[in-house]
Structure 1
Amino acid sequence: MPKQLVFKAIKSPAWLVAVCFALWFAAHSFFAFLFVSFAVATWIKRSIKASLKEDKMEETKAPTAAVASPAPAEAKVTPIKRQYAKSAVVIPLKTGTDD
């Protein structure tokens, strides 16, 4: 919701003001709170449904793509060389004593 709120606020600041006013009014009125709660619950339910539908579509497309392009069995693999950066942790602290 915050992501969509930001995108809609960029497109139309009046929408952001309307949402803020609705939330302020819901904080002061029980019936407005019930209405806003119902609206938010409906919005969450729809977004979860859309997300599940999108995931289901991706699952049906993924196996066909994997079968269409099999990975070559004899692919050359180059080993990764590790590069260590100097860190403040490994540098001894200078305390001013000679011990």
Structure 2
Amino acid sequence: MPKQLVFKAIKSPAWLVAVCFALWFAAHSFFAFLFVSFAVATWINRFIKASLKEDRVEEAKASPTATASPVPAEEKVTPIKRQYAKSAVVIPLKTGTDD
């Protein structure tokens, strides 16, 4: 949305003034806030769906090359190490019980 706001503001400063007024009005009115929130949520939802669709298309294009050279399972899995087990940050809580 910020990118679109900048591009539209360059083309038409009146559009930027209208968006600023809508945000100002939403800051002072509950119903305007609900409307602006719904519009932003809808825009975010569309943006996420579009990016997921692009990812699927890119994944479909890349999948034939990825399946051509399979990697053995031993090389894929890396053991997980506990990094902060002896750190000064991780200390047991003293609750007063002997558990």
Cα offset for 1:45?
0.5
If the length of structure 1 is used for normalisation, what is the TM-score? Answer: 0.61
RMSD, aligned CA = 1.7
Higher fraction of helix: 2
Q: Aligned equivalents of 1:66 and 1:10: distance in 2?
A: 43
Superposition pairs of residues 1-99 of structure 1, within 5 angstroms: 1-64=1-64
Cα gap change, 1:64 to 1:12, in 2 (>3 Å):
farther
If the length of structure 2 is used for normalisation, what is the TM-score? Answer: 0.61
Higher-Rg structure is: 1
Which runs of 5 or more residues in structure 2 are unaligned? 68-99
Instruction: Report percent identity of matched pairs.
Output: 87
Q: Aligned equivalents of 1:14 and 1:65: distance in 2?
A: 49
Cα gap change, 1:65 to 1:4, in 2 (>3 Å):
farther
Cα offset for 1:64?
4.4
Structure 1 runs (4+) greater than 6 angstroms displaced: none
